Structure 1
Amino acid sequence: MTRDHMSETARKPKIVFWGTYDLGKPRNRILAKALETKEADITFLHHDVWTGIEDKSQVSGIGTKIGLAWRWIAGYPKLLWRYACLGHQDAVLVGYPGVLDVLLLAPIAFIRREKIVWDMFICLYDTVVRDRKKFRKWHPVSVFLYLLEWVAVRLASYVLMDTKAHAAVVERLFRLKAGSVGTVYLGVEDQVFDITGDKPQKGSGGPLTILFYGQFIPLHGIKTIIEAARLSRDRCYRWVLIGDGQDAGKIRDMLETTDGDLDIVWKPWVPYSDLSVEIASADICLGIFGNSEKAASVIPNKVCQILRCGKPLITRDSPAIRELVETSEVGVKLVPPGNPQKLLDAVRDMEEEGLPQPRADLLEIMTQKAISNDLYKYLLK
């Protein structure tokens, strides 16, 4: 073996995680950690745009929009210059939300002959127009979003989504070749969501506590949860809702017209670091119950976090969740979307079964090692 060949085989791959990706999202933090688990030369070139903006579809007010636009305008020249000055990279990873990043990065990456791996993660058009119905299909904003993403998915060498079902939605929506969009599962931040050594025990004599947390958006099906709570008057249940968002006004109206004898608690917000405490305090945790195509194609963060904490889970049945569990099993109940009676039946069944814990190996496809292997498969392809 020649010296040059030995040097080439020993060379670490060079990868840059580039753009305005939102480090407030667990997805991007998990990918950043996954990058560092391999023997690779990793560079992080990041400009913070999203601090203080949790729900991007809810950005409103001229001041907020101007401030957001200014942070973008101010950040891109520096980001692009720093990338152009880097030595050759084997791949450029662009995180969520990265549609503008891809559009601006592509010309320089093309000149440098470097592939772009875009973790699309959430399709803006699908989310804003089809799922949340913020704009009609042919509204100028809808058309603009679609065109931006239509171009971006073609400029990227590889596009990644969080489930195979979600990848298939993007392929159909943007008329891409079947199987062309890759999958890297969500994973979970183990250092935040781990109560395996301190699980509260049922039997204190208090009410059964059922927890939902997340944004109040159509995908999550909060109305279904409240309707199930209304049907549970004959049971000693305490329903805890944590969150805020697009449907908060509608949820508030529903709660105000609910009988006072129902035990429903709404906490608009708790710190991310305290979610594991809320999970530990619950007997049963809830996933999502929306009936849209998007709801059928995703496994939300909360599902992974709940399973990591070893808590009983009830969530909607879907092609996406079937990638994780084949059917309802010990500690996991899958119910039809938008059906409060089936949700309540699942709660009762789980209670009668003694609140069993889910299998510890359910998250095998979402371990840090599995995510790292899946990610590098595309980065080094």
Structure 2
Amino acid sequence: MITFGTYDAARHPRTAVLVAGLRAHGVKVTELNRPLGFSTAERVRMLQQPWRLPALAARLLRCWAALVGDAVRHRRAEGRPAAVLVGYLGHFDVLLARVLYPRSVVVLDHLVFAGDTAADRGAAGLRVRLLTGLDRLAVACADVVVTDTDEHRRMLPDPDKGVVVLVGAPDEWRAPQASPVEPASRVELVETPASTSSTSDGSVSTSSTSEVSLSVVFFGLFTPLQGAPVLAAAVRDAVAAGAPLRVTMVGTGQDLPRAREVLAGTPGITWHDWVEPADLPALVAAHDVCLGIFGDTPKGLRVVPNKVYQGLAAGCVVVTSDTPPQRRALGENVELVPVADAAALAAELVRLGDPGALSTARARAARGRDRIRPQVVVEPLVAELRRRDAL
């Protein structure tokens, strides 16, 4: 079996999870990968702004030329692959894969619907229709379409093509737990800020009295589905209610200015525009609580985001919105709050400040950690490929 495309497993670990899971099941996987080098946000922005498309097309063609050479060399050495997995954000790559491998089982990892993502980020009209058309063309080129939730599988023109594979988390997200420091020791006596001052990276910190502090982390693209303004209001209100929180906010995006506005003057907040992917697991693992998503957009009600799986794998208690896919996937192992309800989220943060409540939540989280390992989440895809005699 080969993986094929312009995916970037360092930025987007979904393909890495699938590859690791397949290999754990004894599947020989050869990667033919020429990363395009654009982030998800950059790709969506290019598709929303047609004048940016020449840059995308030029780089895509260079990557494709290299991929064709890779495919020819692989065919000479190994013969025709029984199955070809087109990696995440492979809307265009699957077209080339279908041409190069007409008799192989082509699997498209369709984690993101382009039209749906653009609509969630504020696009409308012709652009969304064109991107929806691209989605349809991409899935038409595949024999098997991998989605992350059943809600997304039902969006396919032919849902019977779909196989639901949870996003999961790479095993390196579990590595921080090897630290000799017990997770419970992350709740410690710290100086609780009484007033704020900004540093060069936007962090705010001063100090007054010492009390037990709950450390909380959020990381993401600040898109509407993530509900960053809801999260910010909840943190503000929890602190105002006396909860001693230390909160790390990582990322940039369209809702970042609103989140900063809501949290202006709230003590204990540290902001980072960017954290290198290799450094993110350790950063998240250093916190008690990882926050998921809280938006009430249609897309937000259909997804289980990476950060929920990654936070759980890193040893955090995960708090996220109570949506059908999140409850179905991990409801017994995460703390769920009503969608877009800042008051409920604030109350949950206050509750988790109690050591007993936090300990109980950690025990629930620990019981779910093995369920999100690559070799477990990939089992439905392995079963489907075996059914097709492609393994």
Q: What's the TM-score, normalizing by structure 1? A: 0.83
Equivalent position of 1:106 in the other structure? 98
1:369 to 1:56, Cα distance in 2 relative to 1, 3 A: same
Equivalent residue for 2:262, pick from 227, 230, 254: 254
**Worse overlay, 273-282 or 238-247:** 273-282
- Contact 2:5/2:87 (CA < 8 Å) preserved in 1? yes
Cα offset for 1:62? 9.6
1:79 to 1:201, Cα distance in 2 relative to 1, 3 A: closer
Alignment-mate amino acid for residue 355 of structure 1? L
CA distance in 2 between partners of 1:151 and 1:160 (Å): 15
SS of match in other structure, 2:246: strand
Cα offset for 1:63? 9.9
Equivalent residue for 1:239, pick from 223, 239, 247: 247
- Contact 2:18/2:374 (CA < 8 Å) preserved in 1? no
- Contact 1:210/1:240 (CA < 8 Å) preserved in 2? yes
Equivalent residue for 2:121, pick from 132, 142, 147: 132
CA distance in 2 between partners of 1:261 and 1:248 (Å): 15
CA distance in 1 between partners of 2:304 and 2:351 (Å): 23
Alignment-mate amino acid for residue 18 of structure 1? F
Cα offset for 1:354? 3.7
- Contact 1:90/1:379 (CA < 8 Å) preserved in 2? no
Equivalent position of 1:195 in the other structure? 176
Equivalent position of 1:277 in the other structure? 282
CA distance in 2 between partners of 1:76 and 1:203 (Å): 52
1:61 to 1:187, Cα distance in 2 relative to 1, 3 A: same
Deviations 1:208-266 (A, max 9, x none): 222211111111111001111232213122332111123223334434xx3x2543322
Equivalent position of 1:20 in the other structure? 6
Q: What's the TM-score, normalizing by structure 2? A: 0.81
SS of match in other structure, 1:306: helix
Equivalent residue for 1:44, pick from 31, 40, 46: 31
Alignment-mate amino acid for residue 92 of structure 1? V
SS of match in other structure, 1:196: helix
Equivalent position of 2:21 in the other structure? 34
CA distance in 2 between partners of 1:287 and 1:120 (Å): 21
1:215-230 equivalences under 5 Å are 215-230=221-236
Cα offset for 1:321? 1.0
Cα offset for 1:316? 0.2
Equivalent position of 1:150 in the other structure? 136
Deviations 1:21-58 (A, max 9, x none): 22221111222222333434432222221256765324
1:183 to 1:61, Cα distance in 2 relative to 1, 3 A: closer
1:53 to 1:166, Cα distance in 2 relative to 1, 3 A: closer
Cα offset for 1:132? 1.3
- Contact 2:228/2:256 (CA < 8 Å) preserved in 1? no
Equivalent position of 2:213 in the other structure? 207
- Contact 2:217/2:289 (CA < 8 Å) preserved in 1? yes
- Contact 2:214/2:288 (CA < 8 Å) preserved in 1? yes
SS of match in other structure, 2:29: strand
Cα offset for 1:193? 3.5
CA distance in 1 between partners of 2:40 and 2:326 (Å): 28
1:377 to 1:267, Cα distance in 2 relative to 1, 3 A: same
1:77 to 1:343, Cα distance in 2 relative to 1, 3 A: same
Alignment-mate amino acid for residue 347 of structure 1? L
1:34 to 1:54, Cα distance in 2 relative to 1, 3 A: farther
Equivalent pairs: percent with the same residue?
A: 28
1:32 to 1:64, Cα distance in 2 relative to 1, 3 A: farther
1:45-60 equivalences under 5 Å are 45-50=32-37, 55-59=42-46
Cα offset for 1:182? 0.7
CA distance in 2 between partners of 1:54 and 1:146 (Å): 17
CA distance in 1 between partners of 2:220 and 2:266 (Å): 25
Equivalent residue for 1:268, pick from 273, 287, 300: 273
1:315 to 1:39, Cα distance in 2 relative to 1, 3 A: closer
Equivalent position of 2:338 in the other structure? 336
Cα offset for 1:267? 1.7
SS of match in other structure, 1:35: helix
Cα offset for 1:317? 0.5
Deviations 1:118-138 (A, max 9, x none): 111111111112x112x21x2
1:71 lines up with 2:59 in the alignment: yes
Equivalent position of 1:115 in the other structure? 105
CA distance in 1 between partners of 2:114 and 2:268 (Å): 36
Equivalent position of 1:8 in the other structure? none
CA distance in 2 between partners of 1:132 and 1:43 (Å): 35
- Contact 1:121/1:160 (CA < 8 Å) preserved in 2? yes
Alignment-mate amino acid for residue 346 of structure 2? L
1:159 lines up with 2:167 in the alignment: no
Deviations 1:260-282 (A, max 9, x none): 25433222122223223333332
Question: For this pair of structures, how many residues does the alignment match?
Answer: 350
Equivalent position of 1:375 in the other structure? 381
1:202 to 1:279, Cα distance in 2 relative to 1, 3 A: same
